[in-house]
């Protein structure tokens, strides 16, 4: 039987997180260059790291949903729950999953 230590599991998790962050940085540079043009490489990295943690705190855990969360922030220039009560209520809702939250936020954004 193969056993994976906690240390090995943490290293794998850290590696996967770093890979996601790098993909997300590249995605933002390619998809939203105008929105991040005034940010340094370090600032872009910090946005991705901080917004990933923020997304996870709302139960948004799948990569595509975290991307959508970060993208919303980058496009709108504020944290999603700072400006809109409807978005905040969606994010605070504990009885729906992260994908449903992002779908509802997308719907709200279309109607703003």
Q: 33-75: per-residue pLDDT in tens?
A: 999 999 999 999 999 999 999 999 999 999 999 999 999 989 8
3-state secondary structure of 106: helix
Contact by Cβ (8 Å): 44, 36:
yes
Contact by Cβ (8 Å): 49, 28:
no
Q: 74-99: per-residue pLDDT in tens?
A: 988 765 545 567 888 899 999 999 99
Contact by Cβ (8 Å): 47, 35:
no
Q: Could you say which DSSP state residue 93 is in?
A: -
Its pTM stands at 0.84
């Amino acid at each position: 039987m193969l056993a994976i230590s906690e240390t090995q599991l943490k290293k794998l998790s850290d590696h996967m997180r770093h890979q996601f962050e790098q993909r997300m940085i590249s995605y933002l540079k390619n998809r939203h260059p105008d929105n991040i043009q005034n940010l340094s490489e370090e600032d872009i990295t910090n946005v991705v790291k901080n917004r990933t943690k923020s997304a996870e705190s709302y139960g948004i855990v799948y990569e595509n949903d975290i991307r959508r969360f970060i993208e919303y922030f980058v496009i709108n220039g504020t944290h999603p729950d700072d400006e809109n009560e409807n978005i905040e209520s969606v994010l605070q809702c504990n009885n729906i999953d992260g994908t449903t939250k992002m779908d509802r936020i997308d719907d709200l954004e279309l109607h703003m």
